[in-house]
Structure 1
Amino acid sequence: MLLNQALKPLTCKEAITRWEKEKGEVASEATVIEMQFQWPPIEKMDGALSTLVNCEKLSLSSNIIDKIAGIAGMRNLKILSLGRNNIKTLSGIETVAETLEELWISYNGIDKLKVMTAMKNLKVFYIANNNIREWAEVNRLQDCPNLRDLVLFGNPVMDTQADAETWRNQVQNRLKQVSKIDGVPIVRVEDFEG
């Protein structure tokens, strides 16, 4: 009986309470909250996260979260780290579109980028090792005018190219605003003209 209780996933409220005890801080006043690698893991993002009104960076990586939720009240959120979870869709991220500058969501199961068109302030987008299969999805990032740093390797769409250089050139030609692809700075001819 005790073993089953120990393996029950954490709620966000329980994880926040644990974080407060460990840090000796009030979560609603903190600007950085890291609750990655929880054991037992966090299973669902929920409304308890909206109490984190001053949070600028939230890390929930390496849990078992299956969807993005509960962040609508996080009006100061700039960095959201959700890598290594079970997330299949980006639906829910648009609730922080006004403030979010960095989204780290590698190693999930995402295959569509439709909601990214709302992310006008996004500068950094790490979505390596997901299920992006079509160039049409990559093209949606054209609607993110401030996007500069994109990590996209490990997605099936990359397999359509012969090698890494051809891959980066394809991405660079589609996303003119990006200055770094998969960790490699992009140098364009127009950078030397003038």
Structure 2
Amino acid sequence: MKAQTLSMKTQYAWLKSAKPLDYSFKGLKTVDGGSIIFFNGELKNEEKPLSTRVQGIPRINKRTNRYLTGSFWLNNNYLIHVNGLRKLAERLLESADHLSWLDLSNNKLIAVNPEILLFPNLTVLYMHNNRIFDLVEVYKLCKLKNLLTLTLSGNPVEATTDYRQIVVYMLPTLRKLDNSPVLRSERKPLGIPYSKCIRNRLLTEYPEDFKWIPLPPAPRPPPPSLITNRSPQNSNKSVIVNFI
């Protein structure tokens, strides 16, 4: 068992250092169904990855016809979702479980697709310059227990008040966010830095994760010092009576 574990770690380290599988700038519209569909709608299952950016392509296991790499680049395309990404990775990569670097930057993604969470050893995730606007979507990434590097700059979510503080709070494993190291001072507990809207949605969508957060207090009744009463002399007018 120990030898097997050591072998898996060695394989993971080797795949992590291999050349990336580069399908950037391909005009990809979707990867649904484990295939690659291009912007013009033409299906090309045998489309070859780019080789110019990284001076070559990953080695191929001749027995399985899959690429020996732990890095998959799908940046600078037209992806609006990544449904079928896990199936595609299983078809193209020798070990989808060992995927460590996924580049989805410069696409049209509006959400963190659950498919991204199906890669347990993902350490680097690029999602900058997309259309993600909701911090609750970002919270999904806490399921990636090995995630160290994340980019979200260029998404509408970046304009959220206390954006960086909240993302660091949500994803405690991060060491780098938007190409800037996460400082120790940023990890100091500063209470719950969520707006009321985000906090209530997290409580609703992830009750087990946030059951320790008390529910918002019920609205207080108006103070008894000011009440409205009607004058017996003029029933059409209201007067303010102060109780001291």
**TM-score under structure 2 length normalisation:** 0.50
2:154 is the alignment partner of 1:154: yes
2:164 corresponds to which of 157, 168, 182 = 168
Match of 2:30 in 1: 67
Once residues 77 and 93 of structure 1 are traced to their aligned partners in structure 2, the CA distance between those partners, rounded to angstroms, is 16
Q: Which amino acid aligns with 2:144?
A: C
Match of 2:70 in 1: 78
Match of 1:101 in 2: 100
Aligned residue pair count? 136
Once residues 92 and 153 of structure 1 are traced to their aligned partners in structure 2, the CA distance between those partners, rounded to angstroms, is 25
Q: State, as a whole percentage, how many aligned pairs show the same letter.
A: 28
- Structure 1 stretches (4+) deviating beyond 4 angstroms? 189-192
Once residues 75 and 139 of structure 2 are traced to their aligned partners in structure 1, the CA distance between those partners, rounded to angstroms, is 22
When Rg is computed on C-alpha atoms for both structures, the one with the higher figure is: 2
Could you give the per-residue CA deviations for residues 5-47 of structure 1, whole angstroms, max 9, x where no partner exists?
A: xxxxxxxxxxxxxxxxxxxxxxxxxx99xxxxxxxxxxxxxxx
Could you give the per-residue CA deviations for residues 87-111 of structure 1, whole angstroms, max 9, x where no partner exists?
A: 1112222233412100111110111
**Gap regions ≥5 residues in structure 1:** 1-30, 33-54
Q: Which amino acid aligns with 1:126?
A: Y
Once residues 170 and 65 of structure 1 are traced to their aligned partners in structure 2, the CA distance between those partners, rounded to angstroms, is 32
Q: Which amino acid aligns with 1:67?
A: T
**Gap regions ≥5 residues in structure 2:** 1-13, 37-64, 90-95, 189-244
2:81 corresponds to which of 86, 89, 93 = 89
**TM-score under structure 1 length normalisation:** 0.62
CA RMSD of aligned residues (A): 2.8
